[in-house]
Amino acid sequence: MSFWSALFGRRAEPAKTADPVEYKGFIIRAAPYKNNGHYQTAGTIEREIGGVRKEHRFIRADAYAGYDDAVTFTVNKARQIIDLQGDKIFDQTRT
């Protein structure tokens, strides 16, 4: 255990990635992680563009008591992001 982990405690557990979900040509990988006793909404949205695999990672403040509920919400949130932004989520110049 590192000095900082021992000093401040370790609150988050590594994410367990759920099975990928395809949506409108994108691949959603929900990976909620346990944080302070709840599962934090987190995942990635991937797509191949011009032969290059692009990835957008996201974390939201929403947290759930159960892993399955967190996965369901994460996938729904990713679908919403895709519907609103499409390929623009991969732009580096977004603000």
Query: Quick one: which H or E segment has residue 55?
Result: strand 52-64
Read off the tokens for 93: 């110049």
Task: Residue 26: name the closest of 72, 83, 69 by CA.
Answer: 83
The total number of structural domains in the chain stands at 1
Query: Rounded to two decimals, what is the model's pTM?
Result: 0.80
Tell me, yes or no, whether 55 lies in a domain: yes
What pLDDT, in 10s, does the model give residues 69-90? 999 999 999 999 999 999 999 9
Tell me, yes or no, whether 95 lies in a domain: no
Cβ–Cβ < 8 Å for 26, 64: no
Q: For residue 71, what are the domain limits?
A: 3-90
What pLDDT, in 10s, does the model give residues 41-67? 999 999 999 999 999 999 999 999 999
**Any idea what the CATH number is for the domain that residue 8 is in?**
3.30.160
